[in-house]
Amino acid sequence: MSDIKNMRNIGISAHIDSGKTTLSERMLFYTKRIHAIHEVRGKDGVGATMDSMELERERGITIASAATNVNWKGYSVNIIDTPGHVDFTIEVERSLRVLDGAVLVLCSVGGVQSQSITVDRQMKRYKVPRIAFINKCDRVGANPYRVKDQLVQKLGHNAVLMQIPIGLEDKLEGVVDLVSMKAIYFDGPSGEELREEAIPAHLQDEAMAKREELLDAVSMFSDELMEAMLEDQVSEELIMDAVRAGTLSQELTPVFMGSAYKNKGIQPLMDGVIQYLPNPTQVQNIALDLDQDEKEIVLESDPSKPTVALAFKLEDGQYGQLTYIRIYQGTLKKGDELYNVRSRKRFKVGRLIKMHADSMEDISQAYCGDIAALFAVDCASGDTFTAGSMNLSMTSMYVPNPVISLAIKAKDKNAQGNMAKALNRFSKEDPTFRTYVDPESSQTIIQGMGELHLEVYVERMKREYRAEVEVGQPQVAYREAISRRADFNYTHKKQTGGSGQYARVAGYIEPLESDEENYVFENSIKGGVIPTEYIPSCDKGFQAALEKGTLIGFPIVGIKASINDGQYHPVDSSDMAFQTAAIGAFREAYRRADPVIMEPIMKVSVEGPTEFQGNVFATINQRRGMIVSALEEGAFCIVEAEVPLSEMFGYSTNLRSLTQGKAEFTMEFLKYGKVPQSISEELIRAYEQKRRDEAGK
């Protein structure tokens, strides 16, 4: 087996169009995983290897995180290519969960943009040490120094330059390595031949000054280096050790630079990955022991310990479902039996695979720290697999509830079957994508985290599953809630010959104080006025009533239902009678509890030149938004706002036209907020009209 210490699991994460797919492609080329270079939007029509889906190739964006294994100077590196769009945040977050380190790619012209901020925030949450790569130094307007400053100011990184560029824009020739103090040039048709030279005379002073900055910044992570600096005995090893210590503690971000497109700076970056990002033994991984009230257990990167692995990604391949796993502890061999902690099912490991974007390599075993893939395992994304019957679960990943839904309809019978297959697959792959059939309209509804999120799945249905679908208007996931307590005393009585139905329930409903729970049932029945066997029936009845509010037909949340009195009949009372009584009681009280409509509020971050600030404020104001803050830095400003999701449709077009395409935005779900009275009335009117139309049919 290869030494765990010679293993790296890294992600390449950044803003869209900062060139991360091109960068991955070059990494594959230099590590001899591929033998020719294709561009993302290549003229050769092949597309970059890491962009495994056709749609991604066409749009020039990366949606699914393709994992691939490469070898660099004796180290085994698993690279996960992650998406940059926030609409696919779950993909990014899931990748970050299994990574030990990451390369944050930034564009030397665009710098740190709002999506980089979101991605960086996610990396911080998962405590991922990172190094930065300032790409596109060959572009007009490239300024890696400015981007490094932005890393400090906007992202709060303690960023230090490891290199300085030799020339910029079309004069970019190579980089000066501030550790070895040598100039590096990239020769050969694809930059594969590295040539080291003395630093050009005109860059000597600058290189010295930047090296001083580097030493000052990293010396605080190494007493040895500090001493060596005093004695003027600084060695390359001492500097690298200090940079590694700072990076692993996430208190330092080494900054590399170059141009992936022009084949410059990639090999030193790969060296940086090996030298400064952690190996799996340097990262603490925690599992929850489900037998001990979710007690945290530290997993050991020891191949002889019982196996614990996490399924972090599912993909539908040519040969069936492919499950990407990260092994946290123990060893996994072909033929081993694993236990799926969620489904409580055991299964046998058939084929064990190492993936290289679209091609694969059969392996007989994989060890802790590694990323591998399994074939034909029935599981969902986020499942934990263990050896034997260890009831451990990897820390559950935060999965937000979907905020937007869309009705879809297959165009023909053929598409109908394919659509079902696609939906089944997507909902297993992506926990933020959900689907159900609306019992009233019999329409298939898909739900997700944003317009683009759902759009991409509709496209994938068409391309990968040949399922042409018609799409309805996006629908916001409203909720209903109550504003005050209301009592009920409801009798359900029916006498239609034979045994009748009788149940009376009394009590009250009131809003829950905390947002954490949606429903609480309280039984305060004394003296058996409702027999114990019918108490769960009341609970069930209330829950049924919550499924659909009477205002606009959306689920009701944040309710406490308490029963304190009632009556039963020895012959006519039944489970069904008490359920029906509870539903009736709830509806009676609901009307008097000042019900309100709640809507998803998004946290929106808009970034653009200050000159368009007024327009940005206006767009938010027009959309019922609340501006929380405006941060100005030089010529750029970032506006943070809270805006109802229902007002965000078409925002990108609106923003583009008002800012000459110079501003961009990201959004994520924040909370549910009360809908204003006038809009609430409109929604109620529309719902009533819809019901009348349906009744008339």
**Using rule CB under 8 A, residue 632 touches another protein:** yes
Which residue, 68 or 613, has its beta carbon nearer to another protein?
Answer: 613
How near is the Cβ of 634 to another protein at its closest, in Å? 6
How near is the Cβ of 622 to another protein at its closest, in Å? 8
Single out the residue of 564, 552, 488, 492 nearest to residue 687, CA to CA. Answer: 552
**Using rule CB under 8 A, residue 620 touches another protein:** yes
How near is the Cβ of 627 to another protein at its closest, in Å? 5
Kindly tell me which residue out of 443, 610, 652, 654 binds another protein, with binding defined by CB under 8 A: 610
Binding window for another protein (CB under 8 A); candidates: 63-71, 235-243, 467-475, 607-615: 607-615
How near is the Cβ of 601 to another protein at its closest, in Å? 11
Kindly tell me which residue out of 335, 614, 661, 676 binds another protein, with binding defined by CB under 8 A: 614
415 by Cβ neighbours in 10 Å (0-12 / 13-18 / 19+) ranks as buried
**Using rule CB under 8 A, residue 660 touches another protein:** no
Single out the residue of 651, 477, 457, 622 nearest to residue 555, CA to CA. Answer: 477
Kindly tell me which residue out of 630, 670, 679, 684 binds another protein, with binding defined by CB under 8 A: 630
Residue with tokens 């300085």: 164
Kindly tell me which residue out of 108, 615, 646, 659 binds another protein, with binding defined by CB under 8 A: 615
Which residue, 127 or 674, has its beta carbon nearer to another protein?
Answer: 674
Structure tokens at 335: 């033929």
Q: Is 603:670 a contact under the CB 8 Å cutoff?
A: yes
**Using rule CB under 8 A, residue 654 touches another protein:** no
**Using rule CB under 8 A, residue 637 touches another protein:** yes
Kindly tell me which residue out of 245, 617, 670, 679 binds another protein, with binding defined by CB under 8 A: 617
Label residue 388 left, alpha or beta by phi (over 0 means left) and psi (-120 to 50 means alpha).
Answer: left
Binding window for another protein (CB under 8 A); candidates: 10-18, 71-79, 501-509, 619-627: 619-627
Rounded CA separation 149/163 (Å): 14
Structure tokens at 368: 């802790």
**Using rule CB under 8 A, residue 544 touches another protein:** no
For the segment 109-168, give every residue that binds another protein (CB under 8 A). 153
**Using rule CB under 8 A, residue 517 touches another protein:** no
**Using rule CB under 8 A, residue 618 touches another protein:** yes
Binding window for another protein (CB under 8 A); candidates: 102-110, 185-193, 431-439, 620-628: 620-628
Residue 28 burial (CB count, 10 A): 21
Q: Widest CA span of the chain, in angstroms?
A: 105
**Using rule CB under 8 A, residue 631 touches another protein:** yes
Single out the residue of 60, 660, 68, 605 nearest to residue 324, CA to CA. Answer: 68
State in Å, rounded, how far the first CA of the chain is from the last one.
69
Single out the residue of 100, 77, 103 nearest to residue 253, CA to CA. Answer: 103
How near is the Cβ of 513 to another protein at its closest, in Å? 8
For the segment 457-496, give every residue that binds another protein (CB under 8 A). none
**Using rule CB under 8 A, residue 686 touches another protein:** no
Rounded CA separation 263/296 (Å): 45
Structure tokens at 429: 């792959």
**Using rule CB under 8 A, residue 629 touches another protein:** yes
**Using rule CB under 8 A, residue 53 touches another protein:** no
* Cβ neighbours for 261, distance < 8 A, ≥ 6 positions apart: 19, 22, 39, 136, 138
Give long-range contacts, CB 8 A cutoff, 24+ apart: 215-222.
215/239, 217/158, 217/160, 217/246, 217/252, 218/160, 218/242, 218/243, 218/246, 218/252, 220/246, 221/245, 221/246, 221/249, 221/251, 221/252
Structure tokens at 312: 């972090």
Binding window for another protein (CB under 8 A); candidates: 92-100, 345-353, 630-638, 676-684: 630-638
Ramachandran angles phi, psi of 17, nearest 5°: 70, 10
How near is the Cβ of 112 to another protein at its closest, in Å? 14
Binding window for another protein (CB under 8 A); candidates: 87-95, 496-504, 569-577, 609-617: 609-617
Kindly tell me which residue out of 388, 400, 634, 676 binds another protein, with binding defined by CB under 8 A: 634
**Using rule CB under 8 A, residue 188 touches another protein:** no
3-state DSSP call for residue 362? strand
Which residue, 223 or 633, has its beta carbon nearer to another protein?
Answer: 633
Structure tokens at 75: 């180290």
How big is the site for another protein, counted in residues (CB under 8 A)? Answer: 21
Which residue, 438 or 633, has its beta carbon nearer to another protein?
Answer: 633
DSSP state of 279: P
Instruction: Catalog residues that contact another protein under the rule CB under 8 A.
Output: 153, 610, 613-615, 617-618, 620-621, 626-634, 637, 640, 673
